Structure formats: structure tokens, C-alpha cells
Amino acid sequence: MANSKKILTLGISVLTVMTLASCGSSGEDTRVADIVAEAEKMDRNELYAKAIEELDGKTMEAVGNSSRGKTAKEYFLAYLQGKKYDSSTQTYVVDEAIRQEFPGYKEDFSGKINWSQPKNNKIFSQISADVRASNHVLSMTLIQDGNQIQSKMLNTGYLLNYIPKEWAGSEEDNGHPFALQSLNKVFMFNNLGENVDYSNVWDFVEDGSAPMFMGVDSEPVGKNFLYMLTNEHYAAIMKQAYEAYKLESGSQDFDDEIDAMAETVTDLGLSSPDAKYSLAWIKRWVTQYNEQTDDGPICNSLVQTSAAGQSALIVYSKLRSVEETAEASKKNVTIAAYQSGYEGVGGFMYKHYLQVLKSSPYPWTSCAFIHFMTTTADGFSPWGKDIGGYCSNPSANVDHTNDGGEDYPAMNDRGYNWWSSQEEGKGRMVIEDPAYVSSVSYNVGDWIDLL
């Protein structure tokens, strides 16, 4: 009996040591984090082989803000079988180039990925609930809104960052958190009619100007844009643009409104004195814009011949779906920042981030799928086919500089480097920084809500 107790005690001790090895000194389970760290050191062949071993005959659950993830995951699963989608036959066929590149393919691989897209911004509560649950379902996510990602997902440790070894992007710009892509919302206007002038970002907040825009409470990335304007860098651009604006003939004088914001800058805890320019612009924008429910209808309205002189701040790629008629045309729209001499920011750039849940049931597959989307042209192709979206890995991007030719110049996308550049004469996009928007959202957000 004594020997039995000793054996039992020894067994419990061994089990405890093994458990602690995967839980860290705090007792927290670090298995997924350890796998993510190991995956970052692996090349494609090593990582994809791990995914096949892990997922074969099983199903992984993923959640994302973009429905195009459904297409990407089908391409990924076919890749693991050594196959590729053939658009001419609309079937997946054997691809010898893939099989040579990835000799570890498994033709009878039967793993699956379910991709869901939560509505009404419920993705954060869904992830939080899954991480805290005793039985975990979700493995990875494609997610947007830097403010909530930072405060609800990263600060809590619910999401883990994975950067593929073969990814060739800028870690400083797109590595933390790791981005799939950057997306543009740009200032544009209907160029029909007389005396249509939107050559400065301050033109959009003149008296009588009511640009169409999705409400700041219906789409959080739009509110993040306003938060980012108070950042020292963008506040300086807003100041510079206003100084140029005052030199325009017939321009309005916002001096008193700007000076009145100096005290508010202090009250909101903002670090840059130039933020008074941004706050004045934000106040006029929020109290004047024409609120709409979605960017698609905004675009369809803006291109109408009846919308002469109207303006908007919307997703650039919405222009792709405009049908040319006698009453509507992409010719009727000008991208504000493409004008020679345009002053100020050209719009804002938000991102789709790829992350692994800390409790992921399929961490190897999660990393492999993220690797596929950001290191291969096929992986990014569901998003890359349109203007206004740019992969964090430059080599996966498609050239859209001549999509519209001479007939539709608004469709000739100048690309990520042009839009993200902060030089005069370039796009000067306001680029979302999760850490910054999270740090000012409480105070600035309350102030905006009261406007």
C-alpha cells in the first residue's frame, strides 16, 4: 500500500511538472504562445506541414470583419492539397508549380475552415467570451478598429501577434499588431457644376459644405480618424493646410474658432498646441456632415449628374461598383488629393489585422493561414483585386495605376507608397495607430459625443 502511495505521488509530481512547463511560472497556459513563437521561425514548408498534421479531418473556426476571408480560406485549403482555383472552369485543379513549391502537400487532405462575419461590431464580445470560456472554439481572427483592438484585445492579452518569417513588409508600419492590409477612405467630390473647389482639406468644413460620411457612431474607424487628427504629426499638417487655405480667394476665416480650442486642447490632455487646428476642424466636420448609413449608397449618390458639387469621405474601392449610365459615371468624380496643389490630408487609412487567439484550438493552422494570406499573391487576391486596399507585404500587391485609363482617372490608384507618404504633394493619409487612438479615445470621444 505504501509503495502504491509513493507511485501515485510520483505520478502527480511528474504531471505537475509537465503542466507547469506549458503554463509558465504564473500558471497561465502558454501553449499557444509558444507555438506562435516557434511558427515565426519556420518557413512555408515546415509550417504548412504542421497545419496539415493538425487540421486533417477536423474543422477550424475563424472570425473576421471581411467576408472575403471565405474565399481566401478556400484557396488556402486547396493549396495544402497542391491545387489552385481555375477561374475558367470555376474548379480547383492540380497545380504543378504549387506542388514543386510545397512538396509536403496532401492531396486527400480533408481539413476545413469555417469563416464567420459577426454583425454590428460584435466580434470583440465574441472573442472575449470564447477566450474566457472553458471550451474554446475560435482560433484566429481578421479584425479592425484599432481603438478596441488595443484596449479590449491586446492590453488584455486575448490576441497574439504572429509575423511570418517570409513576410517582406515593414514591421514598424504593419507588424504590431500584424496587418493584412491597409484600406483607404478618401475625400472625393462631384466635379460637375461651376466653381467646384475642394483643393484644401478645410474646404470640406466651410459653411454650407456637408460632405456625405458614415456616422462616427456607426463605424468606429471613422471616429478613430478624428482621434488621429489630434496627434502631433497630423495636427501640424492641419495647421499648415489652414495657413494655405487663408491665402485662397474667398476663403472663410476660422481664426476665432481655432483660438477658442486652445483651452480644450489642455482640458483633453493633448500634447500638441497645434491640436487646436484639428479640434476646430473636427467640430465643424461633426456638426455639418451629411450622415449616411453605408459607403456604397454614398458612392452611388455622388456619381450622379444631379449631385454636382457634392463631396464625400468614403472607401476608395466603392468606385469599382459604379455602373456607367446617362445619369451616373465615375467620370463625374475627382479624388481630392490627386489634384495638383491640394493641401492637407487626403483621407484616412485604417487596417485589417490578423491575430491568433491566445486559446486557439488550432494554432499551427492559424499561423499557416495568416502566412498564406500575407506572403502569396493568391492568398491576398480576394482583397487585392480592387483599388484602395494594400497588402502589408508589398510583393503581394497588384498594380492598379491604370485601372481607369484616360476615361476614368479617379480609378487610377497611385498605390500604398503614394497614399501613405507624408510629403507635400502625396496622399498624406491619416494612418490609424491603435496605441494612440486608445490613449485619447476616452477624453476626445466624450468631447466629440457632446458636439
As a whole number, mean pLDDT of residues 147-163 equals: 97
- Quote the mean pLDDT of the chain: 93
Q: Is the pLDDT of residue 215 over 90?
A: no
pLDDT at 8 over 70: no
Per-residue confidence (pLDDT) for residue 200, from 0 to 100 = 98
Say what the pLDDT of residue 7 is.
Answer: 39
Q: Confidence band (pLDDT; 50, 70, 90) for 2? A: very low
Residue 423 has what pLDDT? Answer: 97
- Convert the pLDDT of each residue in 272-291 to its tens digit: 999 999 999 999 999 999 99
Average pLDDT over residues 158-162: 98
Cα–Cα distance for residue pair 292/318, rounded to 1 Å = 14
pLDDT in tens, 46-73: 999 999 999 999 999 999 999 999 999 9
Query: Which H or E element spans position 444?
Result: helix 434-449
Q: What is the pLDDT of residues 88-127, one digit of tens each?
A: 999 999 999 999 999 999 999 999 999 999 987 799 999 9
Q: Could you give the angle at the alpha carbon of 88 between the alpha carbons of 87 and 91, nearest 5°?
A: 60
Instruction: Evaluate whether 382 touches 67 at the Cβ level (below 8 Å).
Output: no
pLDDT in the model for residue 75: 98
Give the list of residues 6+ apart from residue 222 with CB closer than 8 angstroms, or none: 185, 213, 214, 215, 216
Instruction: Answer for the pair 353, 144: CB distance below 8 angstroms, yes or no.
Output: yes
Span 394-443, pLDDT tens digits: 999 999 999 999 999 999 999 999 999 999 999 999 999 999 999 999 99
Going by pLDDT thresholds of 50, 70 and 90, the confidence category of residue 216 is confident
Tens of pLDDT, residues 392-406: 999 999 999 999 999
pLDDT of residue 258: 98
The Cα 359–Cα 66 span in angstroms is 22
Q: Which three cell numbers stand for residue 368?
A: 499557416
Residue 17's pLDDT is what?
Answer: 37
Instruction: Determine the pLDDT at residue 18.
Output: 40
Superfamily of domain 28-181+352-396: Periplasmic binding protein-like II (3.40.190.10)
Q: What pLDDT, on the 0 to 100 scale, is given for residue 120?
A: 75
Task: Report the percentage of the chain scoring pLDDT > 90.
Answer: 90
The distance from CA 412 to its chain's CA centroid, rounded to whole angstroms, is: 21
Domain 183-349+412-449 has CATH 3.40.190: yes
**pLDDT score, position 27:** 61
Q: What is the pLDDT of residue 195?
A: 84
- SS3 (DSSP) at 439: helix
Q: Are 421 and 434 in contact (CB under 8 A)?
A: no
Q: Would you say residue 12 has pLDDT above 90?
A: no
pLDDT value of residue 26: 54
Domains 28-181+352-396 and 183-349+412-449 share a fold: yes
Question: Where do the structural domains in the chain lie, given as residue ranges?
Answer: 28-181+352-396, 183-349+412-449
Q: CA–CA separation, 347 vs 324, rounded Å? A: 25
Residue 275 to residues 200, 239, 262, 342: CA-CA distances in angstroms? Answer: 18, 8, 8, 21
pLDDT at 14 over 60: no
CA–CA dist 303, 186 (Å, integer): 15
pLDDT at 4: 43
CA angle 49, 50, 54 (to 5 degrees): 120
| pLDDT higher than 90, residue 33 | yes
The arithmetic mean of pLDDT across residues 247-255, rounded, is 92
pLDDT, position 29: 85
- The b-or-e profile of 30-46 (16+ CB within 10 A means b, else e) is bebbebbeebbebebee
